[in-house]
Amino acid sequence: MNELSRRKFLKGGLAGGAMVSLLGKSSKSEAAPSFGGYPDSMGVLVDLTRCVGCRSCEAACNKEQGLPAPDLPFDDMSVLEEKRRTSEGAYTVVNKYEIPGKDHPLYRKMQCNHCNEPACLTSCFVNAYRKTPEGAVMYDPTVCVGCRTCMIACPFYVPAYSYSSVLNPVIKKCIFCYETRLKFGRPPACVEACPKEVLTFGKRTNLLKIAHDRIRNYPDKYVDQVYGEKEVGGTAWMYLSSAPFEEVGFDTHLGNDPIINYVKEFLTVVPMVLTIWPALFAGFHLLATRKDVQNKENSAGK
């Protein structure tokens, strides 16, 4: 009888403990929500249905950022025949996607999406990145060691590296024209150059309203998704499309968690190992060598 009641007590204790740990977990996740981005940060809404692939944005970016002249001029549309990515010489590129069942292709502009919680920033061990309150993700080349972890971490494959430079290779990516424009509240060069009003510059919160309004008003025209609203914690650059996003080259499997959330599980282990290991292994040592100590004491006693 005694045995049984003890077992009951243990069961109850275990259940209670499990409850506490569950509750503890939920209250903790409320206490430390993930960073949703600066409230007044700016962004750009890209409406793929309006883009005609004229590459004016590429040309404007090239001029604004003082990038080297490309091999083929910007009015040469043959470059659209292959899929390109951002590089050290081009911070933004437009790719063409033939959509099955549609009579015209879709064009997708890509550049740094300026995440709310950038993976490049959180992975950098010299703190070379910062997210400005205006929304730009900035990079400081003067402290960069060149480990290229940010390129590993970026889920959008955006940062490029000037490998050919011997003495000062650095990361090259779109900086939202921060130094020359965004800082003063002006839209980036590509937005201003677009002849088709594909790109809308504004407060990120307002852009989201505009985007959802467009979807609501033209449900036949748009897919019911704003790419970048939630992806990897939300991005400053967001997209509307008439075709499913995976058909226009977007990765639709990134999930809504910021990349740092995947790393946090390890980061929480660090302080535990640092504090528990010394005592644990010193204890093991005392246990493992207790016989030696006893032998010594015995022989000393004799």
Does 153 contact other proteins by CB under 8 A? yes
Cβ–Cβ under 8 Å, residues 224 and 245: no
How many residues bind other proteins (CB under 8 A)? The answer is 57
Q: Among 79-87, 93-101, 178-186, 235-243, which window interacts with other proteins (CB under 8 A)?
A: 79-87
Q: Among 21-29, 190-198, 200-208, 288-296, which window interacts with other proteins (CB under 8 A)?
A: 288-296
Does 168 contact other proteins by CB under 8 A? yes
From the centroid of its chain, how far is CA 267? 18
Name the residue nearer to other proteins (CB basis): 23 or 152: 152
N residues, the chain: 302
Does 263 contact other proteins by CB under 8 A? yes
Does 30 contact other proteins by CB under 8 A? no
Does 49 contact other proteins by CB under 8 A? no
Does 289 contact other proteins by CB under 8 A? yes
Does 262 contact other proteins by CB under 8 A? yes
Question: How would you classify the pairing of strands 137-139 and 199-203?
Answer: unpaired
Count of other CB atoms within 10 angstroms of residue 96? 18
Residue 155 sits at the vertex; the CA angle it makes with 189 and 184, to the nearest 5 degrees, is 25
Site string for other proteins, 100-119 (x = CB under 8 A): -------------------x
Residue 245 DSSP SS3: helix
Q: To the nearest whole angstrom, how small is the minimum distance from the Cβ of residue 19 to other proteins? A: 22
| Alpha helix segments (H runs only) across the chain | 2-31, 56-64, 119-123, 149-153, 189-193, 204-217, 260-288, 290-301
Does 274 contact other proteins by CB under 8 A? yes
Does 28 contact other proteins by CB under 8 A? no
Does 67 contact other proteins by CB under 8 A? no
Residue 142 DSSP SS3: coil
Question: What is the per-residue DSSP string for 24-63?
Answer: HHHHHHHHSPPP---TT-EEEEEEGGG-----HHHHHHHH
110-134 burial code (b ≥16 CB/10 A, e <16): bbbbbbbbbbbbbbbeeebbebbeb
The correct pick among 149, 180, 206, 256 for binding other proteins (CB under 8 A) is 149
The correct pick among 11, 16, 165, 244 for binding other proteins (CB under 8 A) is 165
Q: Among 17-25, 150-158, 195-203, 221-229, which window interacts with other proteins (CB under 8 A)?
A: 150-158
Q: To the nearest whole angstrom, how small is the minimum distance from the Cβ of residue 257 to other proteins? A: 9
Residue 201 sits at the vertex; the CA angle it makes with 200 and 205, to the nearest 5 degrees, is 100
Cβ–Cβ under 8 Å, residues 161 and 147: no
CA distance 227 to 43: 13
Name the residue nearer to other proteins (CB basis): 165 or 206: 165
Does 163 contact other proteins by CB under 8 A? yes
Which residues here bind other proteins, judged by CB under 8 A? 85-87, 119, 122-128, 140, 143-149, 151-153, 155, 157, 159-161, 163-166, 168-170, 251, 253-255, 259, 262-263, 265-267, 269-270, 273-274, 277-278, 281-282, 284-285, 288-289, 292
